Structure 1
């Protein structure tokens, strides 16, 4: 293992006490995530008893558009309804589940409430759950509306900071959060897609109501969602997809790429409108996997140079929705 790789692993593994390296800059780690209550917008669920024991993950159900939907909910061990918590929505890939994504992603180790929604069985081969925007989506199911209903439910039952709601996901789920960024920029502060399947419908007529901060992860050796795109399936080259978000956010320029590890290259766009920023983390030779996963998360090579859940959190937590009449 090279010295650089050891340094990166050490930094990410000790996030609560140290600093994390990304893009050649040092960012405060988890210990710096607490904020004064004056900077938060508390949801209606504050002071309401928790629906489950803090530190646990429990499957919940709700009704949206007349369809029973489920989601895996994780509360951090020190959850209290007296404090407004950031909320991360994590969307699984096609055929996976919220519980499966929780297992390999390590997102439940973050100092945040994490919800893992489950999709509806779509079309194509096998009975596989899917999300809106893909050619195999479930006909007639509006997952954007479901996400809005889910947010309403979580904000009613939990003490959530409505300005710190974030979305991440893998593959089909990552493509879907691209659609959410287009349609729900007033409720989602920033997104972090991993190995995203960005089918045309996930970005069609995309006019977000505000600049959306984006950090994207993708392996250059991904055989499922090719890094260079797939014209037959309408999939864009990943660098083009990221650059399109930099354009939407009216970023001033792309700075020089930085190699931050033996298989990690970070691209950054700066000078974006209203404090937004855009980053892309390319894993050289990386497969259709979640960086840092210790168990199976997809086919191909999984880097251990970085932990995606830590890197994306260091990015997401810096961003908040602007104060509006609704917040």
Structure 2
């Protein structure tokens, strides 16, 4: 709660300092009134950013709507799609409003801000405007608005965590691509609950970091360690889950815990998800979707 308050103060002072060109403030009210049932299913919707229409998919769960629902924004990897992200992640099965965002093309492939190959568009503003639009039309619980990213989408998720902690309450990444551009604003970021997954045999975004597209990217461990330091965590525990090493940092400022799941011999896939394209079969040692949902729900704002 302290984190959200301080983030809101920073936003009022001008989030342009953090690289966001469209500061958008939302009401602190969370006890929203739900006016009857909303039709479940998936629809294509759009927002206008800098004069350009941009689409996204919105999945509405088949649950009662007497209480506000969590809102999850999911970002696919480079070359992926909103529909593909929905397929591999199964996030639409969760009892939440789930947005599957769609990146713009750059160098022949859909790509997100936060990478050297990203198109010159403001994806942070796109994400913020999606939240605004969904809140206006649906019963959203502002205490649980989350960003989830795969690969290049993980880089954008890093940006959102650093720049828009006034909106997003916790984030998750899978096989995240953490280029230098994904750290814009992180030196001034507020604490944020973070959970990450990465395979040691990821041939696209190496677990130990490396170079791709002419630029370096950091390792999953280095990215997570940055959040451990920002969150001022004091306790660490490690668990061997049989082919999966789980490290958890707790006793953090404002309960902003950090977790990392390292999948031995895991590839560039969504653990427990569906196989996509020519990628290796999804690792089945853990179910990333179930674990992510548990973590995000546990870090819902009070």
User: Matched residues in 2 for 1:49 and 1:42: separation?
Assistant: 17
User: Matched residues in 1 for 2:217 and 2:139: separation?
Assistant: 38
Contact 1:286–1:301 (Cα < 8 Å) also in 2 = no
Please list the CA deviations of residues 43-94 of structure 1 after superposition, one character each: whole Å capped at 9, or x if unmatched.
5x842774xx21x1111122122110111110111242x3200111100111
Matched, 1:309 2:293: no
Structure-to-structure mapping, 1:272-291, within 5 angstroms: 272-291=252-271
> Which residue does 2:61 correspond to in 1?
76
- Offset of residue 133 of structure 1: 1.1
Contact 2:149–2:172 (Cα < 8 Å) also in 1 = yes
Please list the CA deviations of residues 217-258 of structure 1 after superposition, one character each: whole Å capped at 9, or x if unmatched.
000000100001114621112111111110011111322x21
Matched, 1:117 2:101: yes
> Which residue does 1:218 correspond to in 2?
198
> Which residue does 1:134 correspond to in 2?
115
Matched, 1:103 2:59: no
> Which residue does 1:173 correspond to in 2?
153
Aligned to 1:311, the other structure's residue is in SS state helix
Summarize the Cα distance change of 1:42–1:151 in structure 2 as closer, same or farther, 3 Å threshold.
farther
Structure-to-structure mapping, 1:1-327, within 5 angstroms: 41-43=30-32, 46-47=34-35, 50=38, 53-54=39-40, 56-80=41-65, 82-122=66-106, 124=107, 126=108, 128-139=109-120, 141-207=121-187, 210-231=190-211, 233-255=215-237, 257-261=238-242, 263-296=243-276, 299-300=279-280, 302-321=282-301
Please list the CA deviations of residues 84-135 of structure 1 after superposition, one character each: whole Å capped at 9, or x if unmatched.
001111001111111111011110111111011111112x3x2x11111111
Aligned to 1:99, the other structure's residue is in SS state helix
User: Matched residues in 2 for 1:118 and 1:313: separation?
Assistant: 22
Summarize the Cα distance change of 1:76–1:208 in structure 2 as closer, same or farther, 3 Å threshold.
farther
Q: What is the number of residues matched between the two proteins?
A: 272
TM-align CA RMSD: 1.8
- Offset of residue 186 of structure 1: 1.0
User: Matched residues in 1 for 2:36 and 2:190: separation?
Assistant: 31
Q: TM-score, normalised by structure 2?
A: 0.85
Summarize the Cα distance change of 1:239–1:297 in structure 2 as closer, same or farther, 3 Å threshold.
farther
Gapped regions of structure 2 (runs ≥ 5): 1-28
Summarize the Cα distance change of 1:297–1:186 in structure 2 as closer, same or farther, 3 Å threshold.
farther
Contact 2:37–2:64 (Cα < 8 Å) also in 1 = no
Contact 1:186–1:321 (Cα < 8 Å) also in 2 = no
User: Matched residues in 2 for 1:214 and 1:265: separation?
Assistant: 16
Gapped regions of structure 1 (runs ≥ 5): 1-39, 323-327
